Amino acid sequence: MLKRKSSTIPFGYKLSENKKYLEPIEEELDALEQAKEYLKNCSYREVAHWLFKKTGRYISHVGLRKLNKKWQTLNPQNLKQIVEERGEIDILP
């Protein structure tokens, strides 16, 4: 469970009984993992539509694009490259 940080409930989560926490929805999180692969060959609109058909929960193509950028930034290989490009101290292994 994650502590709730905003009023928006992110895709892949639902509000728990204790309104201060979010519970993961495995079906949606699994679909997001598949969506990562589909984004290599399909548009954001196509993948967002596929996610809606698969899970029944709406996500806009813009929201999906924001998630994809977040995934790319969180990738350790990308973080290391970003740090090196900026000339900052290499704190990553």
Residue 14 main-chain phi, psi, to 5 deg: -140, 160
Q: Higher confidence at residue 88 or residue 10? A: 10
Segment 42-89, tens digit of pLDDT: 999 999 999 999 999 999 999 999 988 887 776 666 555 555 555 545
Residues 91 and 82: their CA atoms lie apart, in Å, by: 12
Given this model, what pLDDT does residue 56 score? Answer: 96
Given this model, what pLDDT does residue 17 score? Answer: 93
Which pTM was predicted?
0.72
Given this model, what pLDDT does residue 21 score? Answer: 92
Residue 36 has pLDDT above 80, yes or no: yes
